Amino acid sequence: RKEVEQDPGPFNVPEGATVAFNCTYSNSASQSFFWYRQDCRKEPKLLMSVYSSGNEDGRFTAQLNRASQYISLLIRDSKLSDSATYLCVAYYGQNFVFGPGTRLSVLP
């Protein structure tokens, strides 16, 4: 079993749709969690951190449930420019463990 697992995708959604990504992690020692975005043939970049209380950054909302070891990312009013692969990341002891990613295509 992989340490961080994500919806396999791909997700193909129309512009304006709301899309949710799910992620689970197996290491209960994980301290912090993040969502990274990776455009095609580019490097990953930090999208947002995930806090236990939930956090929002514009159209993006991240949630963490430590009891269930579950993380989510919600994108509202999706744009064409949101098309990318979204990587869930668990951090512990200076080790960043990346999930396999979920690819999103936002269609016109």
Partner 1 sequence: DAGVIQSPRHEVTEMGQEVTLRCKPISGHDYLFWYRQTMMRGLELLIYFNNNVPIDDSGMPEDRFSAKMPNASFSTLKIQPSEPRDSAVYFCATLSGRGDTGELFFGEGSRLTVL
Residue ranges in contact with partner 1 by CB under 8 A? 31-32, 34, 42-46, 49, 87, 89, 91, 94-101
CA distances from 7 to 66, 87, 94, 106, 108 (A): 18, 10, 25, 17, 23
